[in-house]
A and B are shown apart, each in its own frame.
Chain A
Amino acid sequence: MANGVAAWLPFARAAAIGWMPVANCPMPVAPRDNSKRQDELIILNVSGCRFQTWRTTLDRYPDTLLGSTEKDFFYNEESKEYFFDRDPDAFRSILNFYRTGKLHYPRHECISAYDEELTFFGIIPEIIGDCCYEEYKDRKRENLERLQDDQEENRDVKPPNMTFRETMWRAFENPHTSTMALVFYYVTGFFIAISVITNVVETVPCGTTANQKDMPCGERYTVAFFCMDTACVMIFTVEYLLRLFAAPSRYRFMRSVMSIIDVVAILPYYIGLVMTNNEDVSGAFVTLRVFRVFRIFKFSRHSQGLRILGYTLKSCASELGFLLFSLTMAIIIFATVMFYAEKGSSSSKFTSIPASFWYTIVTMTTLGYGDMVPKTIAGKIFGSICSLSGVLVIALPVPVIVSNFSRIYHQNQRADKRRAQKKARLARIRISKSGSANAFIHNKRNGLLNELLELTDKEEEEQKQAKTPSLIEIQHHHLLHCLEQTTAHEFVDEQMYEQNCLEMALQTYTSRSPSVSSDGSSSGTCCGRRVKRNMPLPNTSLPSAHPVPTHQSPLQELSALHIQCGDVPSHTISRSTLNLKKDNSSRINCKGGGRITTAIISLPTPPALTPDGDGLHGPPQRRPPPPPGLPATPSIQTTTSSAGMNIVKVSAL
C-alpha cells in the first residue's frame, strides 16, 4: 500500500465497523499509536532551498528515504531541519510526488541526473505518471544508445577464454574483429561476384566459329564454366558448413533467411551433379539453374543497405498488399469489360479474359506496348477509361505507401516500445502490490516466530530485526486482520494457495476421520477451524507431529521448534515436509491460553523479517491464526530478495 492513500486509512478502518455485526470471530486488538505525535511541519533544507511540508505528507510513502527513518541520518540538530546536499530543482518534483501522488519528469532535467536523484530518494521511476512516462523512457533509451555507441567501439577487445567455436562465430558475424575474418569476408564476396558474373556471361552468345552458328559462351566453353561453377560452389559449401558449425544455435541458424538463401544457392549444382544427362529431366534441371541467381542475395551479408531494404519491404508488406489487391481488382474489371467489348470484332487479340489481362496491365501502367489494341469503338472508349484510371490507381497509392511506410515504420517501433514498457511497468507495479499483500502474510509469520522465540528464551537467532514497520503498515495489517476474522478465512499467497488446492485434491484419496473436513466452512468458529487442522496428514515424518495435550507452561510444549530459513526450492520440497508444516503450525488455544504445540515456521531472509508489533502484546487471549506454512521463497518478497534460507533447529528446554 505504498500509495498516497495513507490519508484514507483512518476512514477505511472506521468503515470496518460495518463488518463487526457480521463477524463470528472476535477481532484482534487494535494497534495503539504510542507515539502520538501531532502533525508537525518538517523543514527540508536542500542545498540552501528550504522546503516545508507536513510530516504526514512524507509519511505517505514509507518505503522511500523521506518517508522512512532513513531521513534521520540527515537531521541537523542545530538548525532542527533535515539537510540534503542535492539539487533543489530536481527535489521540487520529488517533493511534489509526496504531495500529489504523481511523479513528473521535468523535461529540462538531464535524464541521468534525474535518475540519480530518484535513486537517492528511493523512488522507483516506474511510478512516473502517464503524462511524463513516455518522454522519460525515450530520453533514457536515447541516452543508453548513446553510451552504447561509445562502448561498441571498444568491442574489438576480445573477451578472454572464448572457445574456438565462439571465436569463429564472432568472426563470421563481425568481420572487423580479426584479419582472418576480413580475408574470409572479402574472399566470399569476391566469389559471389564471380559466380553471378559467370551466370550472366554464360548466356551471352560468344561469336560464331567456323562451322557452328551463334552459341552462348556457356555451351562453347563448357569445361571452363563448369570449373568456375564448381569452385564457387565449393567455397559456398565450405562457408555454409563452417557457419553451421560455429552457430550457437544450429536449429535457429538453419531457420534463418540467410542460411536458406545459402542452401538454395548451392543446391542446383548438387542436384545437377546427381542427375545424369537424362533428356527427360534436363528441362527441369535447366530451370533449377535459375536458382543460382539467388547467390546475389548472399551479398546482403555484405551490404547493410540491402538488409535495410529487405526489412522495409517486410514491414511495408500490408501496404504493398493493399496496392496489389486494388490493382488486381481494377485489372479484372477492365479486362472483363475489354473482352466483352472486343468480342465482336474480327481477328481480335482479346481471345479470353486472361488474355486481356496483359492489355489491361500494360495500359494501366501507361506502358502501352501496342501489341494488343482495341478496334471497336466501345473497346477504344473503355480502353481510354482504363488508361486514365490506371494513372489514378497506380499513382495515388504510391506516395501514400511511401508516407505510410515511413509512418508505420516509426509507429510500429513506438507501439512495440510502449507495449514492452507497459508490460514491464505493470509487472513491477504488480510486484510491489503483491509485496504489500504479502507483507501482511509475512508479518503474521514473523510475529509468531518472534513470539515463540521470546517464549523459548533462546538467543540462538540473532533476531534478525529488520526495520520496524511504520505505524501505517501496522494499522493496515490490523485492518486486513479484521477482515480475516470477519470472514473466518485467511490470506495466503499464491504458491500456498496452489499447494493447498493440490493437497486438497490429494486428500480426497486418503482416509481420515470423518469429523474432519478440509474445507473451511465458515460456520465453524475460529476454534473449530483450528481443531480441523489437527488432522494427521499422511507422510508426515516428523516424530513429534502430534499436538501436545494441555499443559500449563508453554515452554514444555515445544519439543522441537524448527525454524526453516533456507534455500527451499518451492516445488522440490518433499511432500512430507509440506504436509508437516500445514499440520504442525503453532496452535494456540482460544480459551486455554498458552498452549503451544510444535511449530514449523519458515522465513525468508532478513529484509522480510519484521517483528509484528501490533496487537500481540496484549493478553494472549486471542492469538492470530497461525500461518499455514511454507512460503514459496523467491516469489513472495519483491524482486530484491535473494531469498536464501537456512534451516535452524531450536529445541526448547
Chain B
Amino acid sequence: MTTEAGSETEVKENAEEKSAARLDQSKKATEKTQEVVEEGEAEKEKEGKGITRYLPTWFKKQKSQSQTSPTKEDPPTEEPVSKVNQEEAHVPEVNGHAEEVEEKEQVKEKESESHSNASADTEPAGEEKVEESAQKSLESTEETQEVAEKEEDKKEVEKDRRQGQTSIFQSPLRLVRKNKMKLVVCHVTLLDGSDFTCEVEKRAKGLFLFFKVCEHLNLLEKDYFGLTYKDHHEQKCWLDPTKEIKRQIRSNNWQFAFNVKFYPPDPSLLSEDITRYLLCLQLREDVASGRLPCSFVTHALLGSYTLQAEIGDYEPDQPRPLDYINQLTFAPNQSKEMEEKILELHKSHKGMTPAQADCQFLENAKKLSMYGVDLHHAKDCEGVDIMLGVCANGLLVYKDRLRINRFAWPKILKISYKRNNFYIKIRPGETEQFESTVGFKLQNHRSAKRLWKVCVENHSFFRLNAPEQPPKARFLTLGSKFRYSGRTQNQTRMASTLIDRPAPAFERTSSKRISRSLDGAPMISITDTSREAENGHEPHLELHSDSKSPGRVRGDNIYVRHSKLMLEDHDKTQDEVLKHQASVSELKRSFMEASPPSPPQLNLWEKHLTSSPATATRVQQQTVVLEEEAAGTADNCDAKEPSKTTEVEIEETVVVQEISKAAKPAEALQTWEGQVQGGAGLEKKRESISSESESDEEAEYHPNVSLSIRHAQIPEEKEEEEEEQERKELSASSSPVEFNQAAAAVEDEGKDCAEEEKKEVGAEEPMKTPDKAPNGMTPHEEVMCVTTEEEELPKVNGEDSVVEARSQVICCSEPPVVKTEMVTISDTFAAQKSEIATKEVPIVHTETKTITYEAAQLDGSGDGEPGVLMTAQTITSESLCTTTTTHITKTLKGGLSETRIEKRIVITGDCDIDHDQALAQAIKEAKEQHPDMSVTRVVVHKETELAEEDD
C-alpha cells in the first residue's frame, strides 16, 4: 500500500511494457477475460499512463494526497510488527528479488505476453472493477483468475504479481514471505454493508488486509477499527494483524468484516468526519441489532439523526417518507409508533449537515450504558450465567441486565486464563491485606482466551500510553506473544493531530446494510468545502478546540487531585520510594534505550518545549520521522501538540510509573534523535519484556504493573477507594521530585558511570537492609513469576570492573516451584459478599535445567577478602510478566568500593524460542547497560512445562 519512490519507477517501466503487452493480449484473450480486461482498460485510459494504470482508484486517491496520507503513516504501525516478525530478514530479499525479477521480466516480456496474459492482466483489471462498483459480483474475476492460475505457468504468474505488489505495497509486503506467492481473494464486509474484495498473498498478515481495507475506505484514524472473522464455531474473532491470516481463519474461508474495535469514549475528539461516519455506521448496526440496547425515545432520537445524515432535511413535499422508513431498521422491535416518532424528530433537525447529525448521533449514543461494552458469556463459581463486559474503563459483570460488579482497570493487577477459566487478580481494597483472584468459567478455553485477548487489547488501548512491546523481540520469551500491537488511544489521538489533508470526500451510502430502498434517494456527498463550511473552520482549528474540550479540563482537575495525593503520601511510603530510587539500573537502562513506552519523561520534557517554540517545532518535525520509524514511540507523538496534551502530560507525570522515566528528559533533550532512532532500531527496551504465555492453554497479563500512564488516564473513573490504593502503588513508583532530580543529576554527570549512579542511590537512601527491602516489593510479584512456570533466566547484569574481589554466587537454580494460587471464584455479588477462597493447585509437569556460565577472571578474585558491606538492597521490579529482581550490594574493601549487581529475571512464556540467542541478547543488553561493568556469571535455570497438547 505504500509506494516507495525507488520502486515506483521500477514499476512504471514495467507497467509501460506491460501495457503494450496488454493491448495485444486483449485481442487474444479468452472471452471471459476479455470482458474484464476491457473494462479495466477503459478505466485505465481515463486515468492515464504508467503506474496509475496498475493501481486501483483508491490508491490513486492516496497518492494525490499530502504527506500525511496513510501511505506515510503505515510504517510506524508496521515497524514493530516487522520487528517482531522473524521474517523481517526477508524484507531486503524481497526487494532484491523484485529487481531480479524485473530484469528477467524484460527478457521474458514476450513470453509472458503469450502465455501468462490472462492472469497478468485480469488481476489489476479485477481490482479496478471492484473499485468501480463494490456491489458488482466479482465472481467472474475470481473465476478467471483461478482458471488462469491453473492453466498458466505458475512461476511466471507469481513473478509478475510479486513484482507489481512488491513495489506498490512496499511496506505491507514485508509481512509476506517471498517464496510462496499464491494469492487469495478476501471478501470484507464493510460497515455500510457493501463488500470489498481484494487479493492478498496467501501468507499475508492481518495487517496487510486491514491496511488495504483502510485505504479503500480512505480512513486514517484506523486504530479504532479492526477486522473480524468467524471461527469454526461461528464466533466472531478479531484478526490479529501481526499474524498470518491463513493461520487464523483456519477454515480457508477468507471472509471478513470491518468493524469498530475500540469505541472512542468521546467521539467528538476524533479528527475526521469520515471516522465518525464509520463509527456511526457501526453504532447504527449495534442499535438495530439490539447489541446496544436503548429505550424507545433513544431509538427514535438516534433514528432521526440517521435520517438527517442520510437523506438531509425533511421535505414536506416528498412522498410520505413513511414509505421507506419502514424499510429501514432502527431498532430490533421497530413499531409504527417509533417510525412516526423518528419522523417527527427528523423534522426538528432541519438545517443540520450530515456531519453534524452524525455528531449528535454519537453524542447521544456514547452515553448509553452499553456503549462500547463487549459482552462475553460466562458463569460464576456457582454456575450462574453472567456476562462479562469489557470496555474502556474495565471489566463489568452483568447478570441479566443488572450490573453486579465492576473492576476498573486500575483495580486489576493481573488478567489470566487457564483452560476455560478466566481470572482477574484484584488489588486489595484499603481494608484488605491481600489481593484476591476472581475466577469465571467460560464455555471453553477458546472463549476464555478470546476474552483474555480482548481484555489485553482494551486495557492497552485505553489505559496505556504506548503498547507494550510484544515479547518476541526480547530474549527468552516464551509463549504465544499476544499483545496489543496497534497504537493506543493516546497515540492515535496524537497521530490524528498530524492529519493534514483536506477532509476527504466520502459518500454516505444510505446504509446499504439497513436497506437498499434508499438507493434512489438523493445521495449526500460531503465535499471538502461543505465540510469546512459547516464547521466554520478548518481541521487544524478543530484540533485546537479539542484541547479545550471538557474532557481535557477534567484531566487537569485530576492532575491537581493527584499531585495532592502524591504529596500527602510521600512520607508514608518511604520504603517504596526507596525501592524505586534504587532502581538505578533501570533508570539507566531507560536512558540508554529510547524506550517507547515511557511517556512521562517526554512529558516533562514537553514542559520545556512549551516554553521554547523553536524546540517545539523541531520536535514536531522529528516526530513525523519517528512516526515512521517506530510505532511504539508514543511519546514522540505527545510532543507534537503540546497545547493539547498539556493536561494529560501532567497527569502522567503525577501518576509516575517508573522513576527512571521521569528522569529521562534531561538526556532526552540532548540525544533525542539518535536515541530514538537507535532505540527503535535496536529494540533494547527491556522493561517492557512481557511474557504472556498465550499458549492456548493459559496466559496472563499484568495490566497495572507496567510502565505507562494508566491510572490518571481516564479521569472520570477515579474512584476513591481506588485512588487510595493507587496512591499506595503510585507513590511507590513516584518517589517524587527529589529523586527525579537526583536521577537527572546522575544523568548529567555522566550516564555511563555506574559507580556514580550507585553512590547516588546510597545517598538517597541511607540505610536499607535487605530485610527491609521486600517491604518495598509488591507481594504479588513473586507469585506471578512462578505461576507461569515456564522458564527462568537469571542474569547477572554487570559487575564493577574496578574492584572485583568477592565473587557473589548468583544462583537461581532453585528447585522447580509450583505455586499455588489463591483463587476466589467470584459469585454473583462479588462486590458485596465476602469472598470464598478456594485453592487451586495446578499440576504442572516441569523439566528443570540449570546452566552456569562464569567469566574466567572471576575465579581468581574469588571470595578472598570479604570487605565491609556498605549497603545491600533488593529491588524487584515487575513489568508485565517479567519479574526482575535486582540485588545491589556495595562493599568497601581497602578503600575501594565495589558494587555488585545481581539480576534475576524470570521470564515466562511458551516454548518456541531460540534460547541461546536470547541468552546472548540478554548478556549483550547487560553489557550495554553497564558498559563499565563486566558480566561475571550467568546462570540459566530453565524450567519447562512439558507440553500439553491442547489446541
Q: Do A and B bind each other?
A: no
Q: Could you list which residues of chain A lie within 8 angstroms of chain B, going by C-beta atoms?
A: none
